[in-house]
Structure 1
Amino acid sequence: MRVYYDRDADLNLIKSKKVSIIGYGSQGFAHANNLKESGVEEVVVGLRPGSTSTAKVEAAGLTVMDIEEAARFGDVVMMLTPDELQRQLYADVLHGSMKEGAALAFAHGLNIHFRLIEPRPDLDVFMVAPKGPGHTVRSEYQRGGGVPCLLALASDPSGNAKEIGLSYASGIGGGRAGIIETSFREEVETDLFGEQVKLIVDLMYEGGIANMRYSISNTAEYGDYTRGPRVIDEGTRERMKTILADIQNGRFTTEWMTENVAGQASFKAMRARAAEHPLEEVGERLRAMMPWITEARLVDRSKN
């Protein structure tokens, strides 16, 4: 796992560019404001006429342009509209409006990996994908930290796409936590699978399933409705009933007490195997890049 930090990025590179943020949802809000505060003087937000986000952008001291104008303006154009809108938006507006030799950027790889968008051959195409929701990208930046970002390249006609991507990621705070080099394929597969199966437990804990679905992308919400029942199906329910029955009839307690009489040999062997699993090693490294996870932790092994 190759990880880059602010020391590996030239922030002046993105500061010298005109940057167009297309969309002002959770990520658009964070990217635009973080870049501005990192010293990128020419940041604009591209919105459709009559967008309800216009007032929010202007209140933040940012410039609003219609999307076609923003596409012509940007040396770097970051696409932060919902996945399902990007293909048509690129075909109708960006393809014909973007500067020759500009860079087209994404925060999720779906449309590029599955070739729903086929960018012009003169465009650099890269991805900077923060591994957290936009409000966390913004709040961590404001407190002097950052959210780790994934960086991937799809096209590099300028020969400078990676450096621009690193600089952009640094500008939104990613270089403070770590910029992880990956591919569009890996980002898409892990992101879609992770959102559909994990179901973002913290959001559910905070406000229920409806709260979680409000907070995730439309793509992930669709995956929840259509793939969730294939994970938790009638077979799963029947197996859960069997486990509950083991508890109710005392079978589990008898098994556990027998294990203790035998000196916990099987239990300790299972614990040792689990501790050596790659998930533990990789998870420890990733959590170290996200300090906000541990600030309010329930378990502190030095105390409890």
Structure 2
Amino acid sequence: MAQIWKDEDVSLEPLKGRKVAVIGYGSQGRAWALNMRDSGVDVIVGLRPNGKSWDQAKADGFEPLPIPEAAKKADVIVMLIPDMAQPEVYEKYIEPNLEEGNALVFAHGFNIHYGLIKPPKNVDVVMVAPKSPGPKVREAYLQGRGVPALVAVHQDATGKAWDLVLAIAKAIGCTRAGVIKTTFKEETETDLIGEQTVLVGGLMELLLKGFENLVELGYQPEIAYFEAINEAKLIMDLIWQYGFYGMLKRVSDTAKYGGLTVGPRVIDEHVKENMKKASERVLNGEFAKEWVEEYKSGSKKLTELMEKVKEHPAEKVGRELRKMMGLEEE
């Protein structure tokens, strides 16, 4: 069984007297900084000067500092800029300002697990990975709730890293829902495999292939969009709230029978084998190497792939239907 901590199991005491620098003020950065401040933590924000994030942080009542200055002032440094930007920022601005006993905090294990960032041995290296986008982390906190998170310690230089990481999870509201013990390796690999085979890659391809199949059978694209794509959200909402069995109890008997008998013929063991092959590329580091090289060369392939999705007939008809439903602005 997984080890889970709840709010009553954890204290904010390990953060008392410590200054926390949140590096980055995007989706997660803003939520973490605001939640920690509201929890009574001494928070500063480190940013590149004069950008949109700088103005947003000032509007939220912070006095942002350049990244190296924030890193020097703090003894807990939270890395919440995009994964691919972290190694350069760390090397230039964070590492020169680290002192013995400091702590580095990550929301995703990618750079530590694949060795793109190699902290000195005299600092704690920990992770709190909320299982939700940043705005939901903030929204849940304000409602007196929290979102679940994964917590891990990669390096316990002080002997108190676990106390610290749990205190941070509490300060951003995650222990209200519950936090699960993991490792940087497990979090990184499951996150990448899940994104590629199911959440982004697998799911999107399933929806697009379903749309294409209906259109190729001669049905109107608008009808195909509703049947193969739009209604997927309604089913996922039911699964999210009630689980698979609960979802099945809430759809028609025709949908139950058709889904349970035909689904395994479509998503069969061959698909699972493809998932395993994709997973192996994550486990052996091939994907990380490919992605780092792609990013450093200007993300040309990613740009081309994004444009291909933008121009897909399902996206074009979907854009019009979303406008019709008031879900997307003109």
Same fold (TM over 0.5): yes
Does structure 2 conserve the Cα–Cα contact (< 8 Å) formed by 1:43 and 1:63? no
Q: CA–CA distance in 2 between the matches of 1:187 and 1:47?
A: 26
Percent of aligned positions with the same letter in both sequences? 44
Q: CA–CA distance in 1 between the matches of 2:13 and 2:62?
A: 20
Does structure 2 conserve the Cα–Cα contact (< 8 Å) formed by 1:20 and 1:45? yes
Q: Which has the higher contact order (CA 8 A, sep 6+)?
A: 1
Partner SS for 1:19:
strand
Which of 294, 297, 303 is matched with 2:241 structurally?
294
Q: Which amino acid aligns with 2:163?
A: E
Q: CA–CA distance in 2 between the matches of 1:9 and 1:75?
A: 21
| Cα deviations by residue, 1:96-149 (Å, 9 ceiling, x for unpaired) | 112321000100000000111110111100000000000110000000000111
Q: Residues 130-149 of structure 1: matches in 2 within 5 Å?
A: 130-149=130-149
Deviation at 1:52, TM superposition (A): 1.5
Does structure 1 conserve the Cα–Cα contact (< 8 Å) formed by 2:108 and 2:127? yes
Deviation at 1:14, TM superposition (A): 1.8
Q: Residues 159-198 of structure 1: matches in 2 within 5 Å?
A: 159-198=159-198
Deviation at 1:300, TM superposition (A): 10
Deviation at 1:50, TM superposition (A): 2.0
Does structure 2 conserve the Cα–Cα contact (< 8 Å) formed by 1:3 and 1:178? yes
Does structure 2 conserve the Cα–Cα contact (< 8 Å) formed by 1:151 and 1:181? yes
Structure 2 match to 1:7: 8
Partner SS for 2:129:
strand
| Cα deviations by residue, 1:73-108 (Å, 9 ceiling, x for unpaired) | 111100001000111111111111123210001000
Q: CA–CA distance in 1 between the matches of 2:82 and 2:48?
A: 13
Q: CA–CA distance in 2 between the matches of 1:228 and 1:115?
A: 30
Q: Residues 95-114 of structure 1: matches in 2 within 5 Å?
A: 95-114=95-114
Deviation at 1:28, TM superposition (A): 0.1
Deviation at 1:9, TM superposition (A): 1.3
Partner SS for 1:53:
helix
Q: CA–CA distance in 1 between the matches of 2:58 and 2:93?
A: 23
Calculate the aligned-residue CA RMSD, in Å.
3.2
Partner SS for 2:92:
helix
Does structure 1 conserve the Cα–Cα contact (< 8 Å) formed by 2:48 and 2:54? no
Q: CA–CA distance in 2 between the matches of 1:144 and 1:16?
A: 25
Partner SS for 1:86:
helix
Q: CA–CA distance in 1 between the matches of 2:90 and 2:203?
A: 31
Q: Which amino acid aligns with 2:152?
A: A
Structure 1 match to 2:40: 39
Deviation at 1:228, TM superposition (A): 9.0
Q: CA–CA distance in 2 between the matches of 1:9 and 1:16?
A: 17
42-51 vs 157-166, which deviates more?
42-51
Q: Which amino acid aligns with 1:39?
A: G
Q: CA–CA distance in 2 between the matches of 1:79 and 1:143?
A: 26
Structure 1 unpaired stretches of 5+: 201-223, 245-292
Q: CA–CA distance in 2 between the matches of 1:168 and 1:125?
A: 13
Structure 2 match to 1:63: 63
Q: Which amino acid aligns with 2:69?
A: E
Q: Residues 271-286 of structure 1: matches in 2 within 5 Å?
A: none
Q: Does 1:153 align with 2:147?
A: no
The structure-2 alpha-carbon separation of the partners of 1:197 and 1:158, relative to structure 1 and needing over 3 Å to count, comes to same
Q: Residues 236-275 of structure 1: matches in 2 within 5 Å?
A: none
Structure 2 match to 1:129: 129
Q: CA–CA distance in 2 between the matches of 1:122 and 1:63?
A: 29
- TM-score computed with the length of structure 2 as normaliser: 0.62
Q: Which amino acid aligns with 1:18?
A: K
Structure 2 unpaired stretches of 5+: 218-239, 253-330
Q: CA–CA distance in 2 between the matches of 1:15 and 1:56?
A: 26
Matched length? 225
Does structure 1 conserve the Cα–Cα contact (< 8 Å) formed by 2:46 and 2:65? yes
Q: CA–CA distance in 2 between the matches of 1:113 and 1:228?
A: 26
Q: CA–CA distance in 1 between the matches of 2:198 and 2:25?
A: 26
Partner SS for 1:146:
coil
Q: CA–CA distance in 2 between the matches of 1:166 and 1:106?
A: 13
Deviation at 1:299, TM superposition (A): 5.3
Partner SS for 2:128:
strand
